[in-house]
Amino acid sequence: MKKQHWAGLLVLSLFLNACGTTPAPSENPQDMQETAMAGAFTAVAQTLAALPTLTPPPTFTPLPPTETPLPPSPTLEPTIAVTPTAQAVAFTPTADPCNKPLTSWQGPSASLNIVYDYTPRKKDDKVIVSIWVMTDLGECGYLYNLSTGPVGQYSVIAYVSGAKNFNVSGGFRITTGAWKIVIRNDRIVALGVCYPNC
């Protein structure tokens, strides 16, 4: 009797699963990557658009003094008033020299690997990572290839869209060798070969 009962449940469950709805199609990885890149560039463009502009301060334009006639007096001598004039300050706004991709550099390189160490995390989370770097030789810009970068000071921002939406950032120095850039809930850190046992 038990065998027939289990066999009946098995047939019933197979029948119900076969008649169920079809699963939603999965996204194309290329579309996901292009969407993430578009979101990153939009975020960078909006950030740059929100920066204050370098507008020159208003200049002071003095008006010539008006003469007020004084009644003639035999005892008063005429006085000369000196009017101070303001000097205009030359001000030239400049473009940010680091607002460009850093695709090549003169100094040594380091190997980079992005590690997602935040919670809650799902496999379909979308994470946009923006890495800006200033090399020891003064070269600067943002990295297009996130697997290698120059030795220098790094600023990293991650935009996480998934089970929990949040932004997180971090700054650190990268030297030669292999580095893990670890995205956590509260900060982004760079850890060497000791990760995850650091």
Amino acid at 97: P
Q: How far apart are CA 148 and CA 112, in angstroms?
A: 5
pLDDT, tens digit (0-9, with 9 covering 90-100), for 102-156: 999 999 999 999 999 998 888 889 999 999 999 999 999 999 888 999 999 999 9
Residue identified by tokens 């607002």 is 99
- Contact criterion met (CB below 8 Å) for 176 and 109: yes
pLDDT at position 155 = 94
d(C-alpha 36, C-alpha 41), whole Å: 9
Tell me what pLDDT residue 192 has: 87
Per-residue model confidence (pLDDT) at position 36: 67
Global confidence as pTM: 0.52
Which stretches of the chain score pLDDT less than 50? none
- At 183, the amino acid letter reads I
Q: 177-183 and 109-116 as β-strands: parallel, antiparallel, unpaired?
A: parallel
C-beta separation of 154 from 174 below 8 A: yes
Q: Identify the pLDDT of residue 98.
A: 87
* Residue 36: φ, ψ to 5°: -65, -40
Q: What pLDDT is attached to residue 180? A: 94
Q: In the chain, what is the greatest distance between 2 CA atoms, to the nearest angstrom?
A: 138
Determine the distance from the C-alpha atom of residue 45 to the mean position of all C-alpha atoms in its chain, rounded to a whole number. 9
In CATH terms, is domain 103-198 a member of 1.20.120? Answer: no
**Whole-number pLDDT of residue 196:** 75
* 176: Cα separation from own chain's centroid: 24
Residue 134: Cβ-neighbour burial (10 angstroms; 0-12, 13-18, 19+): middle
CA–CA gap between residue 198 and residue 123 (Å, rounded): 25
Q: Where are the domains of the chain?
A: 103-198
